[in-house]
């Protein structure tokens, strides 16, 4: 019989029990309920208002201002405005936001650098210099693909987004890639994304801005992703400032149900001078529930991210001479 710690044909499989023994933090929210750390596609027809939407998103994230009814986490933003120049950027910013509240967390670049290792390096350098970066916008994909865009294939499309996703995952940021739709219409808006399905396949989430009538000031934003609920949002463009305003949504903003067990843990830690350490068995007895110690340990592994995000409680686990132990303590979020 194969030993569970031995690699099988290089696959290094993990059992279900081993998977539940891993601890991961939650995906970093940028716009809670809509945009998280990862690789995102933002697609729309030429001149539909994609860049204005991106400017609006960038400004709100850099200032920590709510986007409609969505909570926004303040973070540094890098906007690669590769189809614009600084003059146009200045005019757009003034028209949309004026000069009363200027963000010092919003950076722009119009330098066109291809995705051949060089752009990746430049992004990494920016991230090292700006540790609080949460959002990077690449407007547009075509401008960073270089000569390879002449010979597209599923593999190349997938590889292009995968390179950006690796950076996003490694640095816990969102990389938003702006792209165009094709001319052919389709009943499914996402089928109109220019290129192959490789782009959407590699992205964590895809967003498409489209109109029923091109001359209309109203648009629909469809959102679909791996780890979030699908959404359809109806928008209207302000004729004077050219910002996108919320009209209605077909689905309510999804909110996760409260977790009674995590609430009990939070209440206990708060009343226990902000920290506790002991065995899973001891914690199970304190919580006085029906959950078994082993199941409690696995649940904490899975819910560690929510425990931190919602209750600012850090979770540690390990082994000592007495066996398995758990440490729970109040901790502050990084700015």
- For the chain, the three-class secondary structure string (H helix, E strand, C coil) is CCCCCCCCCCCCCCCHHHHHCCCCCCCCEEECCCEECEEEEEEECCCCCHHHHHHHHHHHHHHCCCECCECECCCEEEEEECCCCHHHHHHHHHHHHCCCCCCCCEEEECCCCCCCCHHHHHHHHHHHHCCCEEEEEEECHHHHCHHHHHCCCHHHHHHHHHHHHHHHHHHCCEEEEEEEECCCCCCCHHHHECCCCHHHHHCCEEEEEECCCCCCCEEEEEEEECCCCCEEEEEEECCCCCCEEEEEECCCCCCCCCCHHHHHHHHHHHHCCCEEEECHHHHHHHHCCCCCHHHHHHHHHHHHHHHHHHHCEEEEEEEECCEEEEEEEECCCCC
In this structure, the dihedral spanned by the alpha carbons of residues 63, 67, 68 and 71, taken in order and rounded to 10 degrees, is -90
Most confident range, picked from 140-144, 153-157, 168-172, 257-261: 168-172
- Report the percentage of the chain scoring pLDDT > 90: 72
- Give CATH 1.10.10 domain extents, the chain: 257-330
What per-residue confidence (pLDDT) applies to 116?
Answer: 79
What mean pLDDT comes out for the span 52-75?
A: 98
User: Among 102-106, 216-220, 276-280, 330-334, which is the least confidently predicted range?
Assistant: 330-334
Spatial distance between the Cα atoms of 182 and 324, rounded to a whole number of angstroms: 56
Phi, psi of 238 (to 5 degrees): -65, 125
What per-residue confidence (pLDDT) applies to 269?
Answer: 95
Phi, psi of 262 (to 5 degrees): -65, -35
Return the residue matching tokens 């990077």: 136
Residues 24-36 have pLDDT tens digits of: 888 899 999 999 9
CATH domain 257-330 topology: Arc Repressor Mutant, subunit A (1.10.10)
What per-residue confidence (pLDDT) applies to 259?
Answer: 87
Q: Residue 323 is encoded by which pair of tokens?
A: 């066996």
- Whose CA is closest to 136, among 115, 158, 159, 157? 115
Q: Is 12 exposed, middle or buried (0-12, 13-18, 19+ CB in 10 A)?
A: exposed
Most confident range, picked from 4-8, 44-48, 213-217, 241-245: 241-245
- Give CATH 3.40.50.300 domain extents, the chain: 29-249
- What is the pLDDT confidence band of residue 254, given thresholds at 50, 70 and 90? low
- What does the mean pLDDT of the chain come to? 90
- Whose CA is closest to 62, among 53, 71, 73? 73
- What is the pLDDT confidence band of residue 151, given thresholds at 50, 70 and 90? low
What per-residue confidence (pLDDT) applies to 54?
Answer: 98
What per-residue confidence (pLDDT) applies to 196?
Answer: 78
Spatial distance between the Cα atoms of 130 and 62, rounded to a whole number of angstroms: 12
Residues 261-287 have pLDDT tens digits of: 999 999 999 999 999 999 999 999 999
pTM value?
0.86
Spatial distance between the Cα atoms of 3 and 254, rounded to a whole number of angstroms: 43
Q: Inter-axis angle of helices 50-63 and 86-97, to 10 degrees?
A: 70
CATH domain 29-249 topology: Rossmann fold (3.40.50)
Spatial distance between the Cα atoms of 187 and 222, rounded to a whole number of angstroms: 13
Contact 259, 303 (CB under 8 A): yes
Residues 80-97 have pLDDT tens digits of: 999 999 999 999 999 999
Spatial distance between the Cα atoms of 93 and 52, rounded to a whole number of angstroms: 9
Spatial distance between the Cα atoms of 118 and 280, rounded to a whole number of angstroms: 48
Spatial distance between the Cα atoms of 192 and 183, rounded to a whole number of angstroms: 7
Work out the widest C-alpha separation in the chain, in whole angstroms.
72
Residues 185-239 have pLDDT tens digits of: 766 767 677 777 888 899 999 999 999 888 899 999 999 998 888 999 999 999 9
What per-residue confidence (pLDDT) applies to 193?
Answer: 77
What per-residue confidence (pLDDT) applies to 1?
Answer: 45
């Amino acid at each position: 019989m194969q030993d569970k710690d031995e690699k099988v044909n290089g696959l290094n499989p993990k059992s279900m029990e081993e998977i539940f023994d891993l601890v991961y933090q939650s995906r970093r929210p940028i716009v809670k309920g809509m945009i998280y750390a990862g690789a995102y596609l933002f697609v729309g027809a030429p001149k539909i208002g994609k860049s204005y939407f991106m400017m609006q998103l960038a400004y709100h994230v850099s200032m920590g201002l709510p986007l409609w009814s969505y909570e926004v986490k303040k973070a540094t933003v890098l906007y690669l405005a590769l189809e614009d120049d600084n003059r146009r950027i200045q005019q757009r910013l003034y028209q949309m936001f004026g000069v009363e509240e200027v963000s010092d967390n919003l950076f722009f670049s119009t330098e066109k650098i291809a995705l051949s290792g060089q752009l990746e390096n430049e992004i990494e350098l920016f991230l090292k210099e700006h540790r609080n970066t949460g959002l990077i916008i690449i407007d547009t994909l075509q401008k960073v693909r270089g000569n390879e865009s002449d010979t597209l294939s599923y593999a190349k499309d997938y590889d292009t987004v995968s390179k950006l996703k690796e950076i996003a995952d490694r640095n816990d940021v969102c990389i938003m890639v702006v792209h165009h739709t094709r001319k052919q219409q389709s009943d499914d808006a996402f089928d109109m994304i220019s290129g192959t399905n490789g782009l959407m396949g590699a992205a964590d989430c895809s967003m498409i801005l489209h109109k029923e009538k091109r001359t209309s000031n109203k648009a629909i934003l469809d959102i679909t992703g791996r780890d979030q609920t699908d959404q359809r949002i109806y928008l209207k463009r302000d004729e004077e400032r050219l910002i996108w305003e919320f009209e209605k949504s077909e689905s309510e903003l999804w909110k996760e149900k409260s977790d009674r067990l995590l609430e009990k843990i939070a209440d206990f830690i708060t009343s226990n001078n902000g920290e506790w350490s002991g065995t899973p068995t001891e914690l199970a007895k304190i919580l006085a529930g029906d959950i078994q110690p082993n199941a409690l340990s696995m649940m904490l592994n899975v819910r560690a991210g929510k425990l931190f995000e919602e209750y600012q409680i850090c979770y540690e686990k390990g082994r000592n001479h007495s066996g398995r132990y758990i440490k729970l303590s109040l901790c502050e979020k990084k700015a």
